[in-house]
């Protein structure tokens, strides 16, 4: 028996297996396309013949495939349901909170243990002391796997027993990332229209990003406390700023969908009486658009 199995040998999965081998671990690997395992076999990994053989080979199973449809295909393979008994399955692919919950239910139903993870780095960034890896599920099972996981990512962030926490946090951070990309691209169009050097614009964004990261951390604390008294940035200031961006974009004939969206949120916040509160008070407008979530209702009723 080997110490760990890696299922899925795309760029990330292959990197995970390589890091385990470099750390001196005995590793079993399996991939739908067997040829992808050849280099790892040459470096000492054991080749599994099928998913059931891969899961039977080790007490800890790392799955790193494209999506949860691929995970479900692997778990539905012949012999897998019996092989899972007594194994710790850790999925490090991407998916939704619902996907994580369904996968945990399957593994538990077949007497295995399950942790759900989200890698927040590229393959070339793995294995560093600051590489972030989000994990959720049983704390006792994290203790079993933590030493192995830290070979892959030095910054293992445990988010609690709720199995869908890692997937939820992954979506939260991706929402921030893609929202930032949208803002960056819209800003690039404003710069282009003005004949301003877009490369210089990128450099300025890089320079101000650390301070804005600290600001967002502060705003996260404001939202968590549900206390929106002004401490950093009154919402009213942003109302005027976003209105300028929208009007300028419209006057130049630029795409104005993004500033129009944010302007709409801020106008609604203003009409709701939040203009003299902290900027993060916009979250109260977004909450109005959501189905009532029990944990938020109890938080706000305290």
Q: List, for residues 248-261, the tens digit of each pLDDT value.
A: 999 999 999 999 99
Instruction: Tell me, yes or no, whether 35 lies in a domain.
Output: yes
Average pLDDT over residues 18-40: 97
Q: What is the pLDDT of residue 295?
A: 53
CATH number at 150 reads 3.40.50.720
**What is the average pLDDT across 22-46?**
97
On the question of pLDDT at 289 being above 90, the answer is no
Average pLDDT over residues 16-38: 97
Residue 28 has pLDDT above 70, yes or no: yes
Please give the pLDDT value at position 94.
86
Task: Note the pTM of the prediction, 2 decimals.
Answer: 0.89
Average pLDDT over residues 83-91: 98
How much is the average pLDDT of 190-200? 98
Tell me if 255 is assigned to some domain: yes
Judge if 160 and 266 occupy the same domain: no
**Same domain? 98 vs 230:** no
Mean pLDDT of 268-288: 97
- What's the pLDDT score for residue 8? 97
Question: Is residue 187 included in any domain, yes or no?
Answer: no
131 lies in the same domain as 218: no
Question: 230 and 145 in one domain?
Answer: no
Q: Is residue 92 located within the same domain as residue 38?
A: yes
Domain count, the chain: 2
The residue segments making up the domain with residue 228 are: 200-301
- Residue 119 scores a pLDDT above 90: yes
**Do the domain assignments include residue 195?**
no
Q: Which of 94-98, 135-139, 193-197, 261-265 is predicted with the least confidence, judged by mean pLDDT? A: 94-98
248 and 138 co-located in one domain: no
Give the CATH number for residue 283.
Answer: 1.10.1040.10
Q: Can you give the pLDDT at residue 297?
A: 46
3-class DSSP string for the chain:
CCCEEEECCCHHHHHHHHHHHHCCCCEEEECCCHHHHHHHHHCCCEECCCHHHHHHCCCEEEECCCCHHHHHHHHCCCCHHHHCCCCEEEECCCCCHHHHHHHHHHHHHCCCEEEEEEECCCHHHCCCCCCEEEEEECHHHHHHHHHHHHHHCCEEEECCCCCCHHHHHHHHHHHHHHHHHHHHHHHHHHHHHHCCCHHHHHHHHHHHHHHHHHHHHHHHHHHHHCCCCCCCCEHHHHHHHHHHHHHHHHHHCCCCHHHHHHHHHHHHHHHCCCCCCEHHHHHHHHHHCCCCCHHHHHHHHC
Q: Residue 186 falls within a domain, yes or no?
A: no
116 shares its domain with 214: no
């Amino acid at each position: 028996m080997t110490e760990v199995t890696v299922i899925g040998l795309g760029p990330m999965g292959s990197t995970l297996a390589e890091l385990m081998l470099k750390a001196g671990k005995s590793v079993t690997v399996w991939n739908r396309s067997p040829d992808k395992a050849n280099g790892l076999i040459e470096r000492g990994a054991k080749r599994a013949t099928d998913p059931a053989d891969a899961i039977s080979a080790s007490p800890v199973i790392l799955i790193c495939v494209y999506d949860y449809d691929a995970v479900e295909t692997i778990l539905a393979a012949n012999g897998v349901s019996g092989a899972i008994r007594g194994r710790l399955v850790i999925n490090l692919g991407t998916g939704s909170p619902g996907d994580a919950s369904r996968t945990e239910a399957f593994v538990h139903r077949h007497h295995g243990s399950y942790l759900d993870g989200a890698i927040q780095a590229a393959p070339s960034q793995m294995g560093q002391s600051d590489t972030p890896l989000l994990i959720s599920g049983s704390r006792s099972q994290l203790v079993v796997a933590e030493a192995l996981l830290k070979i892959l990512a030095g910054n293992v962030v445990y988010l609690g027993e709720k199995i869908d926490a890692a997937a939820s946090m992954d979506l939260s951070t991706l929402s921030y990332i893609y929202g930032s990309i949208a803002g960056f691209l819209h800003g690039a169009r404003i710069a282009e229209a003005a004949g301003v050097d877009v490369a210089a614009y990128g450099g300025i964004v890089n320079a101000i990003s650390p301070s804005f990261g600290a600001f967002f951390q502060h705003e996260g604390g404001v939202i968590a406390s549900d206390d929106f008294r002004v401490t950093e940035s009154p919402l009213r200031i942003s109302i005027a700023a976003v209105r300028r961006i929208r009007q300028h974009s419209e006057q130049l004939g630029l795409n104005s969908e993004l500033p129009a969206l944010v302007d709409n949120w801020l106008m609604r916040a203003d009409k709701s009486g939040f203009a003299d509160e902290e900027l993060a008070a916009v979250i109260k407008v977004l909450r109005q658009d959501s189905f009532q979530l029990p944990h938020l209702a109890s938080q706000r009723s305290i």
